[in-house]
A = this chain, B = another copy of it.
Amino acid sequence: MRPSGRSAQQVRPITLTRGYTKHAEGSVLVAFGDTKVLCNATVEEGVPRFLKGQGKGWVTAEYGMLPRATHSRNAREAARGKQGGRTLEIQRLIARSLRAAVDLEKLGEYTITLDCDVLQADGGTRTASITGACVALADAFNRMVAKGQLKSSPLKGMVAAVSVGIVAGEAVCDLEYVEDSAAETDMNVVMTEDGRMIEVQGTAEGEPFSHEELLALLALARGGIDTIVEAQKAALTQAPVADLK
C-alpha cells in the first residue's frame, strides 16, 4: 500500500491552472498532488548569438525552488551567489524536453523562456515542471497567433513527464517525496503524446537495477504519461487564451 493509498499505476491528482499570473504570455500553476510549480512562458524577439540569422527560434528554461518549498529551509541560490548543480541539471532537462515539442523553424526568430518556480515540493518537481511548462508554451504560442506574430502554433504536440521508481521492491508511478527518498531506483521519463521518448533518466540509488525492472518502469511511465497528457488537453480546451486574465 502506498502512503497516499494510490495503486502502483496511479498518478496523483493533476491540476493545471492557466492564466495564474497576468503578465506572462503563458502562465500555468501545475499541481501533481502537493507538488506545486508556477510555469511562466515569456516571449521575446530575437535569438541567442549562436542562432542569429538562421531564421530559427529558441526555447530555453530556468528552474528555481523557493527557499521554503521544502520541509526544511534551503538557502536561497541568489543569496549564495550561484545556482547549484541540481538546479542547472533540471533546467537543462526542461529546456531540452520542450525544444523537442517545438518546430523551431516555424517559430522563427523568437526566444521563449520557461521559468519553472517550485512553490511547494513533494517529489517530482522536474516532471511537474515539464508538464506545466508545455501548457504554458501552448498558451504563449496561441497568444502569438492571436497577435499575428505567428500564422499557426509551432507546437508539434504535447510533451509530458512522470517519475517512476522501485520502492520496497515494487515499481510505482509518480513518486511523492516519502517514496522518492526511499526509492532504490528512480527514473524520470519525458514522452510525446504518442508515446515516443524524449528523455529517459534512470538512476540506481541503492542496488543496480535489472533489464526487467527497467522495462517494468517504462511501462508504468507510459501509462502515467497518457493520463497526464489527457489532463493537459483538457486544461487547454477549458478556455481560449484570450479569455485568460
The answer to whether A79 has its CB under 8 Å from any CB of chain B is yes
Interface residues of A in 180-220 (CB under 8 A from B): 187, 191-192, 195-204, 207-211, 214, 218
The secondary structure that dominates the A interface is mixed
Interface hit among A46-54, A81-89, A233-241: A81-89
Q: Tell whether A197 pairs with B202 under 8 Å between CB atoms, given A76-B62, A78-B83, A79-B83.
A: yes
- Cβ-closest chain B residue relative to A87: B78
The answer to whether A64 has its CB under 8 Å from any CB of chain B is yes
Query: Min CB distance, A43 to chain B, in Å?
Result: 9
CA distance A62 to B198 in the complex (A): 28
Q: Tell whether A192 pairs with B214 under 8 Å between CB atoms, given A62-B76, A71-B23.
A: no
Query: Min CB distance, A27 to chain B, in Å?
Result: 8
Q: Tell whether A22 pairs with B120 under 8 Å between CB atoms, given A44-B73, A78-B83, A218-B211.
A: yes
Contact of A115 with B68 in the complex, beta carbons under 8 Å: yes
Contact of B197 with A73 in the complex, beta carbons under 8 Å: no
Contact of A68 with B40 in the complex, beta carbons under 8 Å: yes
Interface size of A in residues (CB-CB distance below 8 Å): 64
- Cβ-closest chain B residue relative to A191: B208
Q: Give which listed residue, B68, B121, B202, contacts A199 with CB less than 8 A.
A: B202
If A62-B76, A199-B201 are given as contacts, then 12 extra A-B residue pairs at C-beta distance below 8 Å, sorted by A number, are A23-B121, A38-B119, A40-B66, A73-B113, A77-B78, A86-B92, A191-B208, A199-B202, A200-B202, A200-B214, A211-B218, A214-B218
Q: A interface vs B, CB < 8 Å? A: 21-24, 27, 34, 36, 38, 40, 42, 44, 62, 64, 66-73, 76-79, 81-89, 91-92, 96, 100, 113, 115, 117, 119-121, 187, 191-192, 195-204, 207-211, 214, 218
